[in-house]
Amino acid sequence: MCRPWEVSGLSDRGELVLEARHVTKIYPISGNRTLTANRDVSLKMYRGRTLGLVGESGCGKSTFMRMAVSLEAPTEGEILFHGRDVSHFKGEELRQHRQNIQMIFQDPGEAFHPRMRVMDIICEPLLNFKRIQRQEREAVARKYLELVELPGEFAWRYPHSMSGGQRQRVGIARALTLEPEILICDEATSALDVSVQKNIIQLLVRLQRERQLAIGFICHDVALVQSLAHELAVMYLGSIVEVLPGERAAAGALHPYTRALMGAVFHLKMDFDKPVQCIEGEVPSPVDTPPGCPFQNRCRMCREICRRERPALRTVGEGHQVACHLFGGGE
Ligand code: ADP
Ligand code: MG
């Protein structure tokens, strides 16, 4: 397995920064129905470590991270930041808390105002929180541009005169200005060319080391996620089906869904140019989900119990949990 960026192993997970406990998110949709975007999700993020969240499109990854960064409140469950439930923070308390967790998205170009110069983009959060004066913008922006390995002169540029990779670096710089403890990257490298993607990930790994950042890395490309995740969580139809150490993901995955995703990785021999092959069939709708295992209709090993009972997430090894009747439970 290829892990080009040295990430440390299982031992010494360190300080727990964020913990989601039994988080469920239900959206009301038309016709008085509901859509369960996250169901009973429990995950932990540690200082200086990366939690990778993987799964096909629509499985609930962004919904989870939006709750983690307090952009949305869970329907049920708790989000603990250093042990304190922040899930229902409001007003000024919420505004202050948001400094702790920053997020970067797929195309920062869309998030940036086209008429704003890079220095204004980078310094906007600091100005909003009155941490710097307007006249300090250029000097501060230059410092952060250097941090993300861009020339200081970029402070005077506009978003349209930069490449996608450069814009993403500016996005990272902006996210770091408030010295967050957690950085969430939601498909942040997905739109970039392969080589650019690798450079951005190397940058993130370096920044994590220097700043002991807890990183939440969402990606539908399992090959990429496992290359940098210390902990890897696999989501399917709003549920966590497996959590395992990133370094063991390729060889140690147990859940048929994870193995199918990983099988695609093996097949591709970590060729980043090719998309990960999809598993047969489609992800069912998160509206009116049937009882039993969420993966039942696509699983070759589906048994009678799988249609009847939803498998609980069970610990099967150190740092390894799996929700499947084939492992440790059921008949
Ligand atoms: P992912 O990031 O894994 O692609 P999302 O978290 O964006 O998945 O979406 C999970 C499910 O929740 C999808 O079926 C999506 O349509 C639904 N969803 C997300 N946000 C909303 C919303 N605000 N209202 C209703 N449904 C939503
Ligand atoms: Mg998403």
Which pairs count as long-range contacts for 138-147, CB under 8 Å and 24+ apart, including other chains?
Answer: 140/177, 141/173, 144/173, 144/174, 144/176, 144/177, 145/118, 145/170, 145/173, 147/173, 147/176, 147/207
> Per-residue confidence at 266, pLDDT binned at 50, 70, 90?
very low
Q: Name beta bridge partners: 16.
A: 46
> Per-residue confidence at 5, pLDDT binned at 50, 70, 90?
low
DSSP 220: S
Mean pLDDT confidence for 234-250: 93
Nearest CA to ligand 1 atom 20: 63
Nearest CA to ligand 1 atom 5: 60
What is the predicted pLDDT for the residue at 221? 83
Percent of the chain clearing pLDDT 70 (strictly above): 89
What is the predicted pLDDT for the residue at 3? 60
- Lining ligand 1 with CB less than 6 A are 27, 29, 35, 37, 55, 57-63, 286
Give 262 or 79, the one with higher predicted confidence: 79
Give 267 or 177, the one with higher predicted confidence: 177
Side chain identity, residue 23:
V
CA of 26 to the centre of ligand 1 (A): 10
Best residue for ligand 1 mutational test, from 35, 282, 289 (most atoms within 8 Å of Cβ): 35
Residue 144 within a domain: no
CA of 37 to the centre of ligand 1 (A): 6
Residue 89 within a domain: no
The total number of structural domains that make up the chain = 1
Measured between alpha carbons, how far is 55 from 36 in angstroms, rounded to an integer?
16
Residue 307 within a domain: yes
Q: Which atom of ligand 1 is nearest to the CA of 65?
A: 6
Its domain, for residue 310, covers 254-327
What is the predicted pLDDT for the residue at 189? 87
Q: What is the pLDDT of residues 80-98, one digit of tens each?
A: 999 999 998 999 999 999 9
Mean pLDDT confidence for 266-282: 46
Residue 131 within a domain: no
Side chain identity, residue 93:
E
Cβ contact 81:126 at 8 Å: no
Residue 320 within a domain: yes
Mean pLDDT confidence for 281-299: 83
Residue 65 within a domain: no
Please state the length of the chain.
Answer: 331
What is the predicted pLDDT for the residue at 251? 84
Give 11 or 156, the one with higher predicted confidence: 156
Residue 80 within a domain: no
Residue 260 within a domain: yes
